[in-house]
Structure 1
Amino acid sequence: MPAHHRSARYGRYAGGPDPLAPPVDLAEALEAVAEDVMAGYSPEEALREHLRRGGSGQEGLDDLARRVHRRRQELLKHHRLGGTLDEAKQLLEKALRLEREQFLRDARMDPMDRSFRELQLDGLPASTAAAVSELASYDWQSRDAREAYEQIRDLLGRELLDQRFAGMKQALENATDADREAVAAMLGDLNELLDKHRRGEDTEEDFRDFMDRHGDFFPEDPQSVEELIDAMARRSAAAQRMLNSMSPEQREELMQLSAQAFGSPGLMAQLGRLDANLQALRPGEDWTGSERLEGRDGLDLGDGTGVFQDLADLDALAEQLSQFHRGATLDDLDLDALARQLGGDAAVSARTLAELERAMRDSGYLRRDPDGQLRLSPRAVRRLGRSLLRDAAQRLSSRAGRRDARLAGAAGEPSGATREWRFGDVEPWDTTRTVTNAITRTAAEGADPREGLRLGTGDIEIAETEARTQAAVALLVDTSFSMAAEGRWVPMKRTALALHHLVSTRFRGDRLELIGFGRYARQLDVGELTGLPPLREQGTNLHHALLLAGRFFRAHPSFQPVLLVVTDGEPTAHLLPGGESWFSWPPEPETVRATVEELDRLGRAGVQTTFFRLGEDPGLARFLQRMAQRVGGRVVTPEVEDLGPAVLREYLGSRTRRRGFER
């Protein structure tokens, strides 16, 4: 048929990961990881937690683990052992029924012989295995009865082989003597190969010769003797666990019946030798475990061994999904086993999580310090700050009814004049003047502007703006344990990150200092504050924090000082002259006096002060109100979820007040 007449058929892509699938959502992952880091988790723990929870529309490790658990429970509840014994019993009953029916039909049969045979059949042991053994030399009168009896021995042989070689039961159905001889030859050669391997005497050629002769018995297509042993040992160990799970009566019955397999005791001898070889070569497999199956569906030996292999797969998957052992990564997941047990969608979910884990580690959002600890990188903190600032701005605009234009940039109002760009300028370019300068210079140099234009630093002109006073902003955040205990720890950090990003990207002329205060106060960079865990220490040392803020303001004498204090408790600690922190609850007069004196000192220096009170403590409310009155400051009482917008509003408001002060 001509190529242009051929029809095309489309279907689901099945060649591995979908090449058109969207990339993993690093933004969502980063925000989730950072949220947990701010709550006190290490980045490693936070990443693990996100992978366990999953994302929007994405299964996590916990979801997959629950599916593994449900699948395991289904196997245990739907199945029971003893299916082979049941089938053997049914075949025996069929053979006896057919034999007795033959007695009734055969009128020429000697009455004495009939009576003797009836007594012989009536006197058979109740045990199926014992009855089958006793009938081994019985002269069957019914051909159909004899076939039913022979089916028992054929069934047992195929089942015993199916335990070790999956699919053998079906492959040997209606097997001939030649087929059985081929199986016996394979078992003999296999045991010889394993014996040589145990002694270290086998060669690659030995394995290849074996596979050339008997490769049809191994659809797994092992490529080495080690792969062959691995595959067989897993199934043999599962068969042993199944045997361990039977009742003593079931085991005894099965062992007796097994001696009748194919009517050849040699089969059991070869299989016993095979099991011994495999157990010696792979002692690390679970040869002693057992399970309690409580379902209704009886399992034959081959299918039962498959179920026990499935249970082992599910146990291994549960351990892999737990990621408990040190150094575990999602690359450890057996995706083939996951797809086999839970379906292809589970493997896709696991692969996506693994890609997310690799992307988070390779993206530069996480990095290891010299001490080996995983940290959020500066890049991650910047991206997080941008996201938090966007969220805070949206909350601001939703409350004000419009977008706050003051978040748009740092430059002042344009004056209409331009000037040549100088290093360090952050004002916007005057594009028209800049391009005109470049064209004029290019023409003066004798070049044709139509052949291309190259900008030089001397061409750039910037739009002059009205001067604005730069601010030195000290954000003091309470890091006492009550902040974490009352659910204020993460909102406090989110606020600090949003303000840091706003100042560092939109108002780069300002300076920001982050100061945390618990029993002691200390300066914190934004990355350090992000990963700061809650500390179970008592003390709210606002006095020490104000001392550090004063040092920061004195280091920037030409900047307008702005003080923002976030706290949920009265000061309960202050620094002694020797530098030690003195703690007392309720607050002692000395602590209050030291704190007030330091605030008064800042007030005399012209510091604009705003307190952000969290919680409903009436004592704190009275204290902060009096403190604000002393220095002409303000007290803001936001809900904890509105802390970020409130701090940003005050910071932006301080810029408005500064412009008014200039005029």
Structure 2
Amino acid sequence: MSAHGRSSRYGRYTGGPDPLAPPVDLSEALDAIGQDVMAGYSPERAMQEFLRRGGQQQRGLDDLAAQVAQRRRELLQQHDLDGTLRQVKELLDKAVLAERGQLARDVTMDDGDRALREMQLDNLPPSPAAAVNELSSYDWQSSDAREAFEQIKDLLGREVLDQRFQGMKQALEGATDEDRQRVDEMLSDLNDLLEAHARGEDTDEQFQQFMREHGDFFPDEPQNVEELIDSLAERAAAGQRLLNSMSPEQRQELMELSQQAFGSPALSQALDRLDANLRGLRPGADWSGSERFQGDEGVGLGDGTGVIQDIAELDALSEQLQQMYAGARLDDVDLDALARQLGDEAAVDARTLTELERALRESGYLRRTSEGDLRLSPRAMRQLGKALLRDVAQQLSGRQGQRDLRQAGAAGELTGSSREWAFGDTEPWDVTRTIGNAVLRTVGDGGDPSTGVRLDIRDVEVAETEARTQAAVALCVDTSFSMAMDGRWVPMKRTALALHTLISTRFRGDDLQLISFGRAARQMEIEQLTALEPWHDKGTNLHHALLLANRHFRKHPSAQPVLLVVTDGEPTSHLEPDGEVFFSYPPHPLTIAHAVRELDASRWLGAQTTFFRLGDDPGLARFVQSMAARVDGRVVAPELDDLGAAVLGSYLGSRDPGDPMSYDAFFGGRGFWVG
């Protein structure tokens, strides 16, 4: 209770996005998108796939679409379309039974007249429509029978109107002659308005006048004639699809019965005129579709038309949720319709997915190229790389000699000395000497350090460290089709991204060159490699990859060369002197010779070499073993899950053999050594 004695009520926020709602969590989505991108999906498709699958705590589009499909099946399996015919038959039987009773009780009636009436009742046709038509001029002796028969006409009138104007069946229950006259006037004015609009002769004043006189028939309050036509045509088309869904016998019965609506053929004529006008104004509406109802719950013309509209709305939702059309966005999903059909929880799920899609597009993690393609941004690549680096750290954490990767980028061991900070220094500050410098400067300037000191850039001193060797790293990854076929494509990309992240964040002085080699080799940026789609590249050109690696080493003559080669096959192609690619399987001796020559060049440049052999091919094992032995290199045969840890551990050991995070410390005794 408030201070003024009035209770407060709190409901769902309806003024747009809830300002108190927690922001959507992008981490799970970005991780899933990154994995799919490395598997060969485009970022756009990867994002759509995540939205379709959903997350651990979030239903996706596929779940919502399945629920929509289930709801559609339930409607078809629940209902039968002979509800109006059943009601007419029940009222007809009631009228005939009451009339027979009255004829039997009326002792004043002439026997001949009674016999004639009984004969007429006995010989009524089995068709309800024909029976109602035959009894339309019958002089009922029973007031109950007359009332039941009038109810048939009233029911038919309300049903055919409800088929075109939702809610009419209930609104006109117990209608008077004056009410029916108003309906006749509304239909006449409506048809005049639609026909004038078709000729281009209608005016805003004519529409406003129509709504002033008949607006209570249109609770959705259309704002102009186009909105009025849209609403009417949608309902009328659904009513026609309802008729199309009936058997020919049912349809014929109802067509004939509609002539008896309110006992006035004029109503049927006005509605036929309305249908014709709406078909002409909205020819693109679905006037010819049909559905197959299989239930036993009868629905009348009005309710059945509503069911057909529900099915149409579910079909539209299904298309929106499938997102298969050009330019599809989750903003297209009609949340109000989803709430009507599946409940508020489904609408909340869809809204969350919409916000997630919007956040992904606006967060800076995805960006458009000049060609219009969606790509992972450098920010997204950094976040994904950090996640992969954490995974590698967890793999390494249980191994002997492990060290926290967050400390791996230190510039070397501290010497105990310090020096004045200079631009570009990344060493840690010597806090004690820095503050001491600030105090001395304050005193020298005539200040009182007891009242506080302000640091100046001139005060800063950094801790000196031992110099560490700069490395020039070449990671050569096999991108032949066998890598994709045997499930090695994604681990290869994950390894490259983890190494790239480690070097770019912890060892900024090192220079990494990524080289892919299939039929030919090429230098690649990390964004290119992670987005590379697998394709049938026939050939493994190790010669070309080593040639590019040696070119990278020569560009950094003062750095320690580190050569890392990930492959699952023997070399089957090489570059000819004219630049053409030579391919041969089984491997040609000349191809092997070219690869050996470039590997020897790597050794002359001082490269520390590690081969990472994927797979159990004996020929590959012999080849890699002989190549590594030739240059005093290492061979590692890791499981795919350990590939990233193997490559990063080898890099760390190769760039600084005295580092406690060396290769031997991480992999000794693990069974990875092959030779």
| Offset of residue 176 of structure 1 | 0.8
| Offset of residue 443 of structure 1 | 4.8
Bigger mean CA offset, 295-304 vs 15-24:
15-24
Number of aligned pairs? 661
| Offset of residue 392 of structure 1 | 1.2
User: 1:533-580: CA deviations, max 9, x gaps?
Assistant: 112111111111111111111111111111111111111111111111
What are the equivalent positions in structure 2 for 1:420-435 lying under 5 Å apart? 420-435=420-435
- Report the Cα distance in structure 1 between the residues aligned to 2:82 and 2:610, rounded to whole angstroms: 79
What are the equivalent positions in structure 2 for 1:269-280 lying under 5 Å apart? 269-280=269-280
What are the equivalent positions in structure 2 for 1:507-586 lying under 5 Å apart? 507-586=507-586
Equivalent position SS for 1:490: helix
Residues 1:401 and 1:472: Cα distance change in structure 2 (over 3 Å): closer
Residues 1:224 and 1:455: Cα distance change in structure 2 (over 3 Å): farther
- Report the Cα distance in structure 2 between the residues aligned to 1:474 and 1:450, rounded to whole angstroms: 55
Residues 1:452 and 1:269: Cα distance change in structure 2 (over 3 Å): farther
Residues 1:459 and 1:159: Cα distance change in structure 2 (over 3 Å): same
Partner of 1:346: 346
| Offset of residue 414 of structure 1 | 1.1
CA contact (8 A) 2:2 2:8 kept: no
CA contact (8 A) 1:394 1:403 kept: no
Taking structure 1 as the reference length, the TM-score comes to 0.96
- Report the Cα distance in structure 1 between the residues aligned to 2:659 and 2:249, rounded to whole angstroms: 94
Residues 1:448 and 1:297: Cα distance change in structure 2 (over 3 Å): farther
Asked if 1:254 corresponds to 2:249, the answer is no
> What amino acid is aligned across from residue 591 of structure 1 in structure 2?
T
- Report the Cα distance in structure 2 between the residues aligned to 1:59 and 1:261, rounded to whole angstroms: 49
Partner of 1:101: 101
Partner of 1:367: 367
| Offset of residue 438 of structure 1 | 3.6
Bigger mean CA offset, 145-154 vs 343-352:
343-352
> What amino acid is aligned across from residue 31 of structure 2 in structure 1?
E
Asked if 1:232 corresponds to 2:238, the answer is no
Partner of 2:152: 152
Partner of 2:665: none
- Report the Cα distance in structure 2 between the residues aligned to 1:176 and 1:449, rounded to whole angstroms: 98
Unaligned stretches of 5+ residues in structure 2: 663-675
User: 1:422-451: CA deviations, max 9, x gaps?
Assistant: 122111122333333344435544567688
- Report the Cα distance in structure 2 between the residues aligned to 1:241 and 1:502, rounded to whole angstroms: 64
- Report the Cα distance in structure 2 between the residues aligned to 1:229 and 1:588, rounded to whole angstroms: 76
| Offset of residue 331 of structure 1 | 1.1
What are the equivalent positions in structure 2 for 1:113-128 lying under 5 Å apart? 113-128=113-128
Partner of 2:669: none
What are the equivalent positions in structure 2 for 1:440-455 lying under 5 Å apart? 440-445=440-445, 455=455
User: 1:465-506: CA deviations, max 9, x gaps?
Assistant: 111111111111111111111111011001111110111111
Equivalent position SS for 1:227: helix
What are the equivalent positions in structure 2 for 1:84-95 lying under 5 Å apart? 84-95=84-95
Partner of 2:629: 629
Partner of 2:601: 601
- Report the Cα distance in structure 2 between the residues aligned to 1:32 and 1:218, rounded to whole angstroms: 49
Bigger mean CA offset, 357-366 vs 103-112:
103-112
Residues 1:401 and 1:553: Cα distance change in structure 2 (over 3 Å): closer
> What amino acid is aligned across from residue 497 of structure 1 in structure 2?
L
Partner of 1:324: 324
CA contact (8 A) 1:468 1:659 kept: no
- Report the Cα distance in structure 2 between the residues aligned to 1:211 and 1:620, rounded to whole angstroms: 84
Residues 1:398 and 1:206: Cα distance change in structure 2 (over 3 Å): farther
- Report the Cα distance in structure 2 between the residues aligned to 1:578 and 1:4, rounded to whole angstroms: 93
- Report the Cα distance in structure 2 between the residues aligned to 1:452 and 1:192, rounded to whole angstroms: 89
Asked if 1:37 corresponds to 2:31, the answer is no
Equivalent position SS for 1:611: strand
> What amino acid is aligned across from residue 362 of structure 1 in structure 2?
E
- Report the Cα distance in structure 1 between the residues aligned to 2:117 and 2:382, rounded to whole angstroms: 93
| Offset of residue 630 of structure 1 | 1.0
> What amino acid is aligned across from residue 429 of structure 1 in structure 2?
W
Asked if 1:479 corresponds to 2:482, the answer is no
| Offset of residue 643 of structure 1 | 0.8
Bigger mean CA offset, 371-380 vs 236-245:
371-380
| Offset of residue 319 of structure 1 | 1.2
Equivalent position SS for 1:624: helix
Partner of 1:644: 644
Asked if 1:131 corresponds to 2:137, the answer is no
What are the equivalent positions in structure 2 for 1:304-323 lying under 5 Å apart? 304-323=304-323
Partner of 2:164: 164
What are the equivalent positions in structure 2 for 1:12-31 lying under 5 Å apart? 13=13, 17-31=17-31
Partner of 1:419: 419
Unaligned stretches of 5+ residues in structure 1: none
Bigger mean CA offset, 157-166 vs 179-188:
179-188
CA contact (8 A) 1:478 1:517 kept: yes
| Offset of residue 49 of structure 1 | 1.1
- Report the Cα distance in structure 2 between the residues aligned to 1:435 and 1:603, rounded to whole angstroms: 49
- Report the Cα distance in structure 2 between the residues aligned to 1:369 and 1:2, rounded to whole angstroms: 57
| Offset of residue 137 of structure 1 | 0.8
Residues 1:497 and 1:453: Cα distance change in structure 2 (over 3 Å): farther
| Offset of residue 108 of structure 1 | 2.3
| Offset of residue 527 of structure 1 | 0.7
- Report the Cα distance in structure 2 between the residues aligned to 1:391 and 1:378, rounded to whole angstroms: 20
Residues 1:99 and 1:594: Cα distance change in structure 2 (over 3 Å): same
> What amino acid is aligned across from residue 588 of structure 1 in structure 2?
H
- Report the Cα distance in structure 1 between the residues aligned to 2:451 and 2:269, rounded to whole angstroms: 91
Residues 1:77 and 1:639: Cα distance change in structure 2 (over 3 Å): same
Taking structure 2 as the reference length, the TM-score comes to 0.94
- Report the Cα distance in structure 1 between the residues aligned to 2:531 and 2:405, rounded to whole angstroms: 32
- Report the Cα distance in structure 1 between the residues aligned to 2:415 and 2:276, rounded to whole angstroms: 93
Equivalent position SS for 1:121: helix
- Report the Cα distance in structure 2 between the residues aligned to 1:205 and 1:606, rounded to whole angstroms: 91
- Report the Cα distance in structure 1 between the residues aligned to 2:148 and 2:190, rounded to whole angstroms: 32
Equivalent position SS for 1:259: helix
Partner of 1:211: 211
CA contact (8 A) 2:610 2:633 kept: yes
Residues 1:135 and 1:400: Cα distance change in structure 2 (over 3 Å): farther
| Offset of residue 89 of structure 1 | 0.9
Bigger mean CA offset, 99-108 vs 285-294:
99-108
| Offset of residue 233 of structure 1 | 0.9
CA contact (8 A) 2:469 2:656 kept: no
User: 1:620-662: CA deviations, max 9, x gaps?
Assistant: 111111111111111111111111111111112224415699x
